[in-house]
């Protein structure tokens, strides 16, 4: 038996809540998008606990599926008001040998589960037994989520198409005098206009030295001629994330060192992509990108010495401090182990991840050569492993230098 709780509304300020987003595990299993819900699963029964219909509450916050809708619209075998979970859970877990439940995610539900176990143990004289152990359902569930079904991939392809349009529209705004927040607004406009829930994560629009800050989200500076603009933004569509980074030249022309760095990052990404196949590992992709970067950083004058020694000492890390890939799905940094039995996990068909090498040369770092200062470039695509290779879900988003320049020039 498994009990999977959903997310709750969280207060933003005063009497205003954050925009609700369902916990990804419950969303994956049920598709149920309302707050204050939980799913109870056995081998032959699927039960939803949900907020009941309430005309007064619905006047303020919108219609609820309620208990009837949980069965009719979401396929539950039975459903009950969420307020009855504490009362009903002991009956459900009687004589179950094991309870799968994610301890530690929600303290109030943890307490409810503990009380339910105590209640069942108190019925021992009736011949009733309580679950003898609690297992973490994420060990199974996250393995399921790691391998995408065809229907999931179709959603991720649709998300990639929306993200393509958003990036192309935003690229046209990368002109001197535009503000970063104006570019961000264009991205979010397309995300919502095309039916997405909005950005899958806080959008990054970093111009000049801001592009060297990995998670820069203030997006308030004005674009200047000669700068690069790093845009890391993707839509969330029916819960699934797109995660794309492109780097655009303000005004539409890569010049001097900026073009050299851009072409180096593109070579590193292409080298990493060439490594993808079933049985390969994300570590191997990263090592391919690092190898290209170290050779290029020597040529750029940012590093000195032999490539082998520089890689061994990780001398590249001031300029490339993150890994090349992460899993992608319902979460932008999706679930799934990266290592199995202490070794890098072999890739399998259906696994989706990013390939996102980048180089960053902050002006504030004395190790940065003067001619490279305030240049930040990242190129990121979403990839799914196939039976005999891979598919780039975001391949329609331009990234060759001349294509990117044309996008900016419109």
User: pLDDT tens digits for 120-166?
Assistant: 999 999 999 999 999 999 999 999 999 999 999 999 999 999 999 99
Is residue 14 a contact partner of residue 27, using CB atoms and an 8 Å limit? no
The residues near 312 (Cβ < 8 Å, ≥ 6 apart) are none
Note the pLDDT of residue 131.
Answer: 96
Percent of residues, the chain, with pLDDT higher than 70:
100
- Which tens digits make up the pLDDT trace of 73-88? 999 999 999 999 999 9
- Which tens digits make up the pLDDT trace of 277-336? 999 999 999 999 999 999 999 999 999 999 999 999 999 999 999 999 999 999 999 999
- Which tens digits make up the pLDDT trace of 141-154? 999 999 999 999 99
As annotated, the active-site residues are 15, 215, 232, 243, 322, 326, 333, 356, 360, 378, 380
**Residue in the structure block whose two tokens are 């690069």:** 228
Rounded to an integer, what distance in angstroms lies between the CA atom of residue 76 and that of residue 73?
A: 8
Partner residues linked to 81 by β-bridges: 50
The CATH architecture annotation of domain 148-409 reads: Alpha-Beta Complex (3.90)
As annotated, the residues of the chain forming the CATH 3.90.230.10 domain(s) are 148-409
Helices 107-121, 85-93: inter-axial angle, 10-degree rounding: 50
Assigned CATH class of 2-143: alpha beta
Note the pLDDT of residue 167.
Answer: 98
Confidence of residue 20 (pLDDT cuts 50, 70, 90): very high
Find, among 153, 139, 151, 140, the residue nearest to 351 by Cα: 153
- Which tens digits make up the pLDDT trace of 57-71? 999 999 999 999 999
- Which tens digits make up the pLDDT trace of 267-279? 999 999 999 999 9
As annotated, the residues of the chain forming the CATH 3.40.350.10 domain(s) are 2-143
């Amino acid at each position: 038996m498994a009990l999977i709780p959903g997310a709750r509304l969280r207060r933003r300020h005063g009497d205003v809540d954050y925009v609700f987003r369902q916990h990804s595990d419950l969303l994956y299993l049920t598709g149920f998008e309302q707050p204050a819900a939980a799913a109870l699963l056995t081998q032959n029964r699927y039960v939803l606990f949900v907020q009941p219909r309430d005309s007064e509450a619905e006047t303020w916050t919108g219609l609820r599926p309620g208990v009837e809708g949980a069965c009719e619209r979401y396929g539950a075998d039975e459903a009950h008001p969420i307020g009855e979970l504490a009362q009903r859970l002991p009956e459900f877990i009687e004589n179950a040998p094991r309870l799968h439940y994610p301890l530690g995610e929600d303290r109030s539900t943890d307490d409810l589960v503990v009380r339910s176990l105590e209640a069942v143990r108190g019925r021992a004289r009736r011949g009733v037994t309580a679950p003898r152990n609690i297992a973490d359902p994420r060990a199974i569930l996250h393995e399921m989520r790691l391998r995408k079904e065809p229907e999931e991939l179709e959603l991720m392809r649709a998300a990639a198409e929306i993200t393509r349009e958003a990036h192309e529209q935003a690229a046209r705004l990368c002109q001197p005098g535009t503000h970063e927040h104006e570019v961000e607004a264009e991205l979010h406009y397309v995300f919502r206009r095309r039916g997405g829930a909005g950005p899958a994560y806080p959008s990054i629009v970093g111009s000049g030295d801001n592009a060297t800050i990995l998670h820069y989200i203030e997006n308030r500076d004005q674009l200047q001629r000669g700068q690069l603009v790093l845009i890391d933004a993707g839509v969330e569509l029916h819960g699934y994330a797109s995660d794309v980074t492109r780097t655009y030249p303000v005004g539409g022309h890569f010049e001097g060192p900026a073009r050299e760095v851009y072409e180096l990052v593109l070579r590193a990404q292409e080298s990493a992509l060439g490594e993808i196949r079933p049985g390969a590992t994300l570590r191997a992709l990263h090592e391919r990108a690092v190898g290209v970067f170290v050779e290029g950083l020597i040529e750029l004058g940012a590093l000195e010495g032999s490539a082998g020694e520089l890689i061994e000492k990780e001398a590249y890390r001031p300029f490339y401090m993150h890994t090349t890939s992460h899993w992608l799905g319902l979460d932008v940094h999706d679930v799934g182990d990266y290592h199995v039995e202490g070794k890098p996990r072999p890739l399998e068909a259906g696994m989706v991840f990013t390939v996102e090498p980048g180089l960053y040369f902050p002006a504030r770092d004395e190790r940065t050569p003067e001619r490279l200062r305030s240049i930040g470039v990242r190129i990121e695509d979403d990839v799914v492993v196939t039976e005999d290779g891979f598919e780039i879900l975001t391949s329609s988003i331009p990234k060759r230098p001349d294509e990117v320049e044309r996008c900016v020039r419109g």
